[in-house]
Structure 1
Amino acid sequence: MILTLGETLIDMIVSHGDHLSLKPIPGGSPFNTAIALSRLDVPVGFMGNVSRDPLGNLILEQLISNGVDTRYLHLVENPSTLALVHPDEAGEAQYGFYIDGTAAASFSPADIPPQLPECVRALVFGSIALVMEPLGSTLEEFLHRERTGRLLSFDPNVRPALMNSFPDYFSRYERILSLSTIVKLSQEDLHYLYPSQKEEEVIHGILSQGPRLIIVTRGEKGASAFKRTASGIDRVDVPSVPTPIVDTVGAGDTFHGAFLAWLAHHDVLTEEKVGMLSEGDIFEALLFASRAASLVCTRAGADPPTLVELHMGERNT
């Protein structure tokens, strides 16, 4: 099993027609990644707090209907966490968040299970959980406890509008990065976190802190992966999959989930085996993830493809 950790929320999708309308869709980075993994036939669970309100019921129903294990999910009285989502002129999603005092933020040390079963092979985390309290501190404590013997995969999914202090955020980001096996960053994440550094310097610095593999997604320019070897740093690139874009909501989360799904299906979901991946393996995993993310972009909201849909798309390209 893969366990995703952190926030769920309701994406209130803004549309402009004759009248302004809002469509509530369950979301949140770890939620989306859990759905993506389950639809790609990987056993997956979710850990975090969900509201008992009607919007929280939507979240819970979506997890259950997609086969996500909810044994580590807690129902709480706090209201659901909300994100207002609207596309810009290029179709890129823009966000506004309502998080203080909400269900997702309330996850605390008391909610951490005393131990996880051995079947939990990997933990997936990141996103706005890093700036929500007590959720952020709780997850950081939990990751320290679980870092040995499990693959840890980190997607910071940076949201600058939520940061009260960039130095505080960056300090937590680096602490969590140092615990991680895989780090997935978007091009936008890199530019925001390391505005004055060249990418080569950033990649070298991150790999020196402990991660075995770094993935950088570049939108229409494809994706890259970087791995330290005895002779230096290997780089693997894949092109983007040409896609008619409706919006990009959930594309990065689906990419992350699909990459891990490829690892799971090929029985390489351990820190040691990730460190031994060949360039060919990494290329195939990146391509699989890119195809999954491209399908999400053809739909409104975060709606990851099934394994059948993904294989059908492969035959049609």
Structure 2
Amino acid sequence: MIVVVGEALVDLAPARGDDPDVLRPLLGGSPYNVAVGLGRLGTDTAYLGGLSRDAFGRKLAQRLEDEHVSLHLVHRTDAPTTLAVVHLDDQARASYGFYLNGTSAAELSADHLDGWQRADAVHVSLGAVTLETDPAGAALVGLLTGERDDTLLSLDPNVRPSVIGDLGRYAARLDEVVRHTDLVKVSDEDLAVLHPDRGHGEVARRWAQAGPAAVVVTRGPDGAEVHLASGEVVEVPGEAVEVADTVGAGDAFTSGLLYALDRAGTLSRHRIRDLDVAGWRAALQVAVRVAAITCTRVGADPPHADELQA
């Protein structure tokens, strides 16, 4: 089983049509999207995070159930559902503003993080909730840096500058947390925000040498690359598609990557280090395909397994 940890929220996104001021509610949050993506791909998945008992929270829970994602690790709360306002630029790239304080995602604490230790892999996506969010951030840092057995630990920094105070300090803290993980998936845009004076390849190599088995860097339409602890780099090109928008594309990539690694039997701290170049190339190709299909549809709408062969 893969346990996905982090926020679930509602995106208020621009509606299609003539009025750009009309917003429609979409269920989302990076870890929530990853869990849905894994469920659609047929991977045994559980979501671990806070879900409100309000109307939005009930909708979030129902969708997870509909996508065959287990809720047995969910923390139920009376706090309102976290909200994000989505802005799309003229190239359909998304940026976000968050309503976080006092909401369901922010109140997750160490007391709520239990049960993941029995999983094959744990994936943490950040976003509205950062390493500095109180108390959820401290809980996630404890999970990411604590003791564990052979459970694979995966991280997507998913940087949202609008909820981060001192980016330099945050980048240094993230560098430290990365040392404890087995797999990092990060976009080239996130690395440029965290380390504007360095190329994404330089940062990825440094991270891979610090502890993880692999650091996967997504490059939007240009594909993806993985930097291995051995120093090897594997690259795959992007897939040309007609883009509806890019909402959820990075999360879909993460789902595709974890799905491919699960199918390859490499979801453990030790087995992932035995995956060869051909295996990594195959996993990246699946992840790129999943992300590309998602980009052809409006919103975070990842594919099912049978669509990968279409």
Q: TM-score range by the shorter chain?
A: over 0.9
- SS in structure 1 at match of 2:70: coil
- In structure 2, relative to structure 1, the CA distance for the partners of 1:16 and 1:290 (3 Å cut) is closer
Aligned to 1:62: 63
Contact 2:150 2:270 in 1 (8 A): no
Letter aligned with residue 84 of structure 2 = A
Contact 2:291 2:302 in 1 (8 A): yes
1:197 Cα shift? 1.6
Aligned runs of 1:168-317 on 2, under 5 Å?
A: 168-229=169-230, 233-312=231-310
Aligned to 1:91: 92
Aligned equivalents of 2:87 and 2:201: distance in 1?
33
Aligned to 1:46: 47
Aligned equivalents of 2:95 and 2:308: distance in 1?
27
For residues 35-90 of structure 1, the C-alpha deviation after alignment (integer angstroms, 9 at most, x for no partner) is: 11111111000111111111111111111111101011011111110111121101
1:13 Cα shift? 1.1
Contact 1:147 1:179 in 2 (8 A): no
- In structure 2, relative to structure 1, the CA distance for the partners of 1:134 and 1:240 (3 Å cut) is same
For residues 111-159 of structure 1, the C-alpha deviation after alignment (integer angstroms, 9 at most, x for no partner) is: 122x5463x1001003222242211101111233354321011100111
Aligned equivalents of 2:4 and 2:173: distance in 1?
19
Counterpart check, 1:126 vs 2:125:
yes
Contact 1:15 1:86 in 2 (8 A): no
Letter aligned with residue 293 of structure 2 = L
Residue identity (%): 36
- SS in structure 1 at match of 2:180: coil
Letter aligned with residue 8 of structure 1 = A
- SS in structure 2 at match of 1:208: helix
TM-score by length of 1: 0.93
Aligned to 1:21: 22
Aligned equivalents of 2:13 and 2:260: distance in 1?
30
Could you say what the CA RMSD is over the residues aligned between the two structures, in angstroms? 1.5
Count of residue pairs the alignment pairs up: 307
Q: Which ranges of structure 1 fall in alignment gaps of 5 or more residues? A: 313-317
- In structure 2, relative to structure 1, the CA distance for the partners of 1:298 and 1:146 (3 Å cut) is farther
For residues 183-211 of structure 1, the C-alpha deviation after alignment (integer angstroms, 9 at most, x for no partner) is: 11101011111111233432232122101
Letter aligned with residue 250 of structure 1 = G
The answer to which of 131-140 and 299-308 deviates more is 131-140
Letter aligned with residue 303 of structure 2 = P
1:226 Cα shift? 1.0
- SS in structure 1 at match of 2:56: helix
Aligned equivalents of 1:268 and 1:16: distance in 2?
41
Aligned equivalents of 1:79 and 1:196: distance in 2?
39
TM-score by length of 2: 0.95
Q: Which ranges of structure 2 fall in alignment gaps of 5 or more residues? A: none
Aligned equivalents of 1:249 and 1:198: distance in 2?
25
1:175 Cα shift? 2.9
Aligned equivalents of 2:29 and 2:305: distance in 1?
21
Aligned equivalents of 2:251 and 2:201: distance in 1?
24
Counterpart check, 1:30 vs 2:51:
no
Contact 2:213 2:228 in 1 (8 A): yes
Contact 1:224 1:236 in 2 (8 A): yes
1:170 Cα shift? 2.2
